[in-house]
Structure 1
């Protein structure tokens, strides 16, 4: 697996498909999600007393990053905070009060593998993941966090270090767009398949503690080794999982003909046959259930995001549910 950054080739496909807003995303679209993202409250599900508190104003008074006010000296106040200029001017002791601020960078992990390049109704999963990554990034940015991310396809992972600037957000979005628009149905067979374990190892190297990490994927290829790394990652960080799925996984059509593609291998299936429909439906539902089970074991909040619905509304409901204690 290459670790990038590396140039991505333009898809060898119909030009009209590249303009399909249900299949591919562009930079203007992701930048334009700022309005919706900033209106969605992005806060870690921990109180101020937790060791996993993020970049949000603490109720603790002390020596911090932000000066808050001058106040009259009270017995017990730290004499090191005396403001000598104000004290000399008024003849009464004044001390400086600060609001402590704790820094929690946010890393947004966006899956753009070929498994994500599928859609049966509104959008492709890869496009929904790209939109969700932008919404999470904008929400975290407007909550005062430094934002960066990881974007991965079937061959490599690209990283964008966390920083509090619009330029860094644009760099992250541009990376998502390049990976997204490189996906195409004629993509050659995989040589070095990027696994979630490899991506989580990269996260562990970047986020040693006190990060918020948002994993956006369909979690194809998740296993027990992934579970161990998620537990390790969540030990000192706040991890949230967003599973992007297609509605067909929950309601497989009774009469349809589909073609399953894996690299260069294509297998046509007639879903009208009971002997085929039931095993395929059980497999798709079972994969969703397996991800949910592993997340429960990891004690990581899981938010389900359908590619068959508008992304922003689902994201808003998912965070509202977490804030309300539903997860």
Structure 2
């Protein structure tokens, strides 16, 4: 995953990230050559490096961020809700793109609406995007006004703003509930002309279910008591979690889109740093 256009590792501009107006001053570029420093040539022979620094004038590629704020994201057993973790991850990606001067755009969607933001550089565009995420996040309620719409994920991935994306970085942050063949096809289409990364927000509760006792689950309107001592109930929950995991593995194996797992129970910024570092190492291997 790269925030800017890639350069071959052997390229002389692979380590430079400046653009035209940000080129280093001549004194930094030529250094000892302009000052007549005699040890300069000797140092080049010893270390094999150069006194010249090339600059990459390729503009940063646009960054598109897709943020899921559906009712299924309004769940969390500790620290935060999945919807909050997704919003935090999106904000971190936005500020990271802003730091590189990249145009920022994307899609925010819930069960009732899909809001597209055309890519634009600058802090004003970043704040507009973040406010749109915060607005949809604030609309989430324990008693939802709108019925759940699993198909919103594939509709968001097929929106016109993303269809125009090419040569961009696309980050999809969701729990991917309701994803099916159409959603995977939309991801594959995006991945053909862009670099796509999927960030799966999840709550770790299903990974460590209690072996005994009774827990009350509620969706805001109705509630149900589950006895975890009964093997049948535990098995159904495990089957549900396994089906979700297999669907995400399909995205990674068949489409080639890396899937990063984001836990709502841990600090988002720490996880994002760790996940991106691991993904970079995996790509290099």
- Bucket of the pairwise TM-score, normalised by the shorter protein: 0.7 to 0.9
Q: Which runs of 5+ in 2 are unaligned?
A: 27-53
Q: Counterparts of 2:121 and 2:281 in 1: how far apart (Å)?
A: 28
| Runs of 4+ displaced beyond 6 Å | none
Q: Map residues 1-327 of structure 1 onto 2, 5 A cutoff.
A: 43-44=2-3, 47-49=6-8, 58=13, 99-190=56-147, 194-202=151-159, 205-254=162-211, 255-259=213-217, 261=219, 266-325=223-282
Q: Counterparts of 2:200 and 2:73 in 1: how far apart (Å)?
A: 11
1:5 match: none
Q: Which has the higher helix share?
A: 2
TM-score, length-normalised on structure 2?
0.78
Cα distance, 1:163 vs structure 2: 1.2
Q: Which has the higher strand share?
A: 1
Cα distance, 1:101 vs structure 2: 1.0
Q: Counterparts of 2:99 and 2:55 in 1: how far apart (Å)?
A: 22
Cα distance, 1:282 vs structure 2: 2.1
Instruction: Give the number of aligned pairs.
Output: 251
Q: Counterparts of 1:180 and 1:110 in 2: how far apart (Å)?
A: 10
- Encode CA deviations 1:21-49: one digit per residue, 9 max, x unaligned: xxxxxxxxxxxxxxxxxxxxx72597414
**Helix, strand or coil: the match of 2:217?**
strand
Q: Counterparts of 1:44 and 1:206 in 2: how far apart (Å)?
A: 20
**Helix, strand or coil: the match of 1:115?**
helix
Cα distance, 1:278 vs structure 2: 1.5
Cα distance, 1:114 vs structure 2: 0.3
Structure 1's 265 and 323: CA in aligned 2 closer, same or farther, altered over 3 A? same
Q: Counterparts of 2:4 and 2:68 in 1: how far apart (Å)?
A: 24
Output the aligned Cα RMSD.
3.0
TM-score, length-normalised on structure 1?
0.69
Cα distance, 1:247 vs structure 2: 0.6
